[in-house]
């Protein structure tokens, strides 16, 4: 391919991207228009597509941990299970976590309802800035990625300062506020268990404001006419302390386990927890932040998932491995950094695996 062809391709992509972004349709809008083939903007390169396939969930791959004994004499065994999953897999599901099933079901239902509103209702908040704490968009990294992914997103700031309540779409407002309360309670419990799993005090992570900066994303993965040419979400790790994920029963999430991609089968009533890059750094590589992705949805039924990203609210504080976890036998694997510096790098790159965390290695 000559320089002229490459330049023309880049120009065509820029035009297509601009047209898609300015339409404010989102991916669902494209599906509703009746398209039967993917716009080139969404077609991923062969090196990405060659590994895309559903797998058979392995019963031992993603553990399900029962939290019902969290406040009893059995708490040490719960801490051990959580610590083992965080060290070996970086992902685990929790049941008997204290969030009522009806809250889980309603939250999924209203996020789905938001995305299935008429385009005009969603276009009002289609934006990439978060001045009001609420935005609707397609692909966080749309302007930086090599190819777009087949999903739309509702994003709401939950803390430290809650989004302008009047800006939260009415169709999901009450449920989002209730979800925020439930997430704070469960997040506090999980951070305590994870802290103890490192041999630290239960309050260590919360003392560092690790639960205060919370962002909720409600992803909507509509039917994809050519799921073998794109993805729902590219392979990446989360630039957070922990992520709490609620998914419906459609499936499509995959986690990298060794050299294999493993399907994460939805467990009714369960919530997924995954370790983020920041906690891998703070734990001095004790806990693992692992690659995960979402396949494009071949089902006529849309897939809905809701993630809450938990991070420190103290953006200008220095972070790095806990001193208690650094020794002559195990020196610091990462350098100290300002959290705001970390996030600036995240927002100026595409989602592409562990390149971000590797930048901060010692």
Beta carbons of 276 and 307 less than 8 angstroms apart? no
Query: What end-to-end distance do the CA atoms of the chain give, in Å?
Result: 40
**Residue 294, phi then psi, degrees to nearest 5:** -130, 130
CA 344 remoteness from chain centre: 17
Q: Which helix (H) or strand (E) holds 340?
A: helix 339-346
User: Each residue's pLDDT tens digit in the chain (362 positions)?
Assistant: 444 455 556 658 889 999 999 999 999 999 999 999 999 999 999 998 988 877 665 656 799 999 998 888 899 999 999 999 999 999 999 999 999 999 999 999 999 999 999 999 999 999 988 888 999 999 988 888 889 999 999 999 999 999 999 999 999 999 999 999 999 999 999 999 999 999 999 999 999 999 999 999 999 999 999 999 999 999 999 999 999 999 999 999 999 988 889 999 999 999 999 999 999 999 999 999 999 999 999 999 999 999 999 999 988 889 999 999 999 999 999 999 998 888 888 777 665 667 788 889 98
Integer Cα distance of 42 and 229 in angstroms: 8
Is residue 295 within 8 A of residue 54, CB to CB? The reply is yes
**Domain ranges, ordered by start, for the chain:** 3-359
3-359 architecture in CATH? Sandwich (2.60)
- In angstroms, rounded to a whole number, what is the distance separating the alpha carbons of residues 38 and 149? 11
Give residue-wise pLDDT tens across range 164-211.
999 999 999 999 999 999 999 999 999 999 999 999 999 999 999 999
The Cβ of residue 17 has, within 10 Å, a number of other Cβ atoms equal to 17
Q: What is the pTM of this model?
A: 0.93
């Amino acid at each position: 391919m000559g320089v002229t062809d490459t330049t023309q391709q880049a120009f065509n992509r820029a035009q297509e991207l601009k047209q898609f972004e300015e339409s404010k349709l989102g991916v669902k809008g494209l599906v509703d228009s009746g398209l039967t083939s993917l716009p080139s903007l969404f077609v991923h390169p062969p090196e990405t597509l060659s590994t895309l396939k559903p797998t058979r969930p392995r019963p031992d791959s993603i553990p399900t941990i029962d939290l019902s004994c969290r406040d009893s004499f059995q708490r040490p065994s719960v801490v051990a299970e959580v610590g083992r999953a965080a060290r070996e897999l970086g992902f685990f599901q929790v049941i008997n976590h204290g969030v009522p099933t009806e809250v889980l079901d309603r939250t999924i239902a209203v996020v789905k309802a938001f995305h299935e509103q008429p385009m005009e209702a969603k276009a009002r908040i289609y934006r990439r800035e978060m001045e009001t704490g609420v935005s609707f968009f397609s692909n966080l990294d749309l302007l930086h990625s090599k190819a777009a992914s087949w999903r739309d997103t509702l994003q709401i700031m939950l803390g430290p300062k809650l989004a302008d309540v009047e800006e939260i779409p009415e169709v999901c407002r009450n449920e989002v506020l209730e979800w925020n309360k439930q997430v704070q309670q469960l997040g506090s419990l999980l951070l305590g268990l994870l802290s103890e799993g490192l041999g630290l005090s239960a309050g260590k992570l919360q003392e560092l404001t690790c639960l205060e900066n919370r962002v909720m994303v409600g992803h909507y993965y509509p039917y994809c006419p050519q799921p073998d040419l794109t993805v729902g979400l590219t392979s990446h790790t989360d630039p957070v302390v922990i992520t709490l994920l609620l998914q419906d029963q459609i499936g499509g999430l995959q986690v990298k386990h060794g050299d294999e991609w493993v399907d994460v089968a939805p467990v009714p009533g369960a919530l997924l927890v995954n370790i983020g890059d920041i906690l891998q750094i703070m734990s001095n590589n004790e806990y693992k932040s692992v690659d995960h992705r979402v396949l494009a949805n071949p089902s006529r039924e849309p897939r809905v998932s809701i993630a809450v990203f938990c991070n420190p609210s103290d953006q200008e504080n220095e972070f790095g491995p806990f001193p208690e976890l650094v020794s002559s036998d195990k020196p610091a694997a990462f350098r100290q950094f300002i959290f705001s510096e970390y996030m600036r790098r995240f927002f100026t790159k595409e989602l592409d695996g562990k390149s971000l965390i590797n930048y901060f290695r010692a």
